[in-house]
Amino acid sequence: MARHFLKLSDYTRDELDSLFRLTRELKEKQRKGVSHRLLDGKTVALIFEKSSTRTRVSFEVGVFQLGGHGLFISSGTSQMGRGEPIKDTARVMARYCDGVMIRTFGQEIVEEFAAYSTVPVINGLTDLFHPCQIMADLFTVIEAKGDYEGLTFAWVGDGNNMANTWIEAAAIFGFELRLACPQGYEPDRQVLAWARERGARLLLTTNPREAVRDADVLNTDVWASMGQEQEQAARAKAFAGYQLDEALLDDAKGNCMVLHCLPAHRGEEISDAVIEGPHSAVWDEAENRLHIQKAIMATLMG
Ligand code: CP
Ligand code: NVA
């Protein structure tokens, strides 16, 4: 049976740590121009039901660097957009391709896709989780700080797919995670309950200052995610006071790092000064999507 990458909680800490090691190795090889064609002659379908810049480009480039071929498929121009059942698409794709990455809405869609797929399926973002992104983020932290162990992570903003995935990561890796979300915009209840049951060190507050106090890693994301565009105005009101700006940064550790998965809305969830400032690691973070996803694809499909 194929092994999939649908959410972090399907993996052990040891397995995810070994992905970080392979990522370091592949990044080094790519930098030095050393061949690493671990997917030689293989084809990976990249299915998008939502927009993307980083995920599309990093997967396409990644599979190419591994010696394979990435096939971009947008739901709007395929039969998926006309209602062909997920389970039918999944079985057909598996007859052509060696792996699939899918970006879609409900987590149940990737779960159903994977249940019918005989080749590995990777979650490229759902409304619930964004596991490739948090792996890239953690890899960026490891590169900058040497380890994630002993660090305090802060999340400021919406309790969205990114926040949910950070919660899974906190439970798996054991670091402290403090989340500041406005009332009514908290992370997923089931994910929180699962993490708390596993003994995750979580603090959930409505006060951004409490979350960032002496934190090592600060993280935020858009206030309205893809699919929530019509809530933009209401959300802008609800999230007033939740901007990751220089005043908030003053409460964190002097050598803190700032992450944002991008795309960013300067002047909303993050100030221009912070995203462009000395603590920002967002470009390394975006680059690391490429390297971590190569490790994930090579491990699952190689
Ligand atoms: N961070 C991220 O997933 O970016 P895209 O939406 O551009 O893929
Ligand atoms: N939370 C954002 C992340 C984009 C990469 C969204 O789902 O739109």
Residue 5 reports pLDDT greater than 90: yes
Same domain, 235 and 246: yes
Picking from 250, 289, 214, 301, the residue whose alpha carbon sits closest to that of residue 60 is: 289
Yes or no: say if 203 and 145 are a contact pair by the CB < 8 Å rule.
no
Same domain, 22 and 149: no
Q: Which ligand is nearest to the CA of 136?
A: 1
CA 222–ligand 2 middle distance (angstroms): 7
Which residue has its alpha carbon closest to ligand 1 atom 3? 55
Same domain, 66 and 194: no
Which residue has its alpha carbon closest to ligand 1 atom 7? 53
Q: How far apart are CA 192 and CA 169, in angstroms?
A: 11
Mean pLDDT across 62-90: 96
Phi, psi angle pair for 258, to nearest 5°: -115, 130
Is residue 54 in a domain? yes
Q: Looking at ligand 1, which atom is closest to the CA of residue 58?
A: 8
Coil vs helix vs strand at 205: strand
Is residue 1 in a domain? no
Amino acid at 3: R
Looking at residue 26, what is its pLDDT?
A: 98
Same domain, 108 and 252: no
Is residue 2 in a domain? no
Residue 1 reports pLDDT greater than 90: no
Say which CATH number the domain at 186 has: 3.40.50.1370
Yes or no: say if 272 and 243 are a contact pair by the CB < 8 Å rule.
no
CA 127–ligand 2 middle distance (angstroms): 8
Same domain, 253 and 193: yes
Residue given tokens 């987590």 in the structure block: 107
CA 199–ligand 1 middle distance (angstroms): 30
Q: Kindly report whether the global pTM for this prediction surpasses the value 0.95.
A: yes
Same domain, 275 and 149: yes
For the chain, the domain total comes to 2
Q: Which of 225, 239, 262, 270 to mutate to test the pocket of ligand 2 (most atoms within 8 A of CB)?
A: 225
Residues 6+ apart with CB under 8 A from 258: 218, 219, 244, 249, 270, 274, 275, 277, 279, 280, 281, 282
Q: What percent of the chain has pLDDT over 90?
A: 99
Enumerate the active-site residues: 103, 130, 133, 221, 261, 289
Same domain, 102 and 178: no
Same domain, 96 and 185: no
What range does the domain containing 79 cover?
A: 8-130+286-301
Same domain, 121 and 201: no
Residues in the chain: 302
Q: What is the pLDDT of residues 26-51, one digit of tens each?
A: 999 999 999 999 999 999 999 999 99
Same domain, 197 and 216: yes
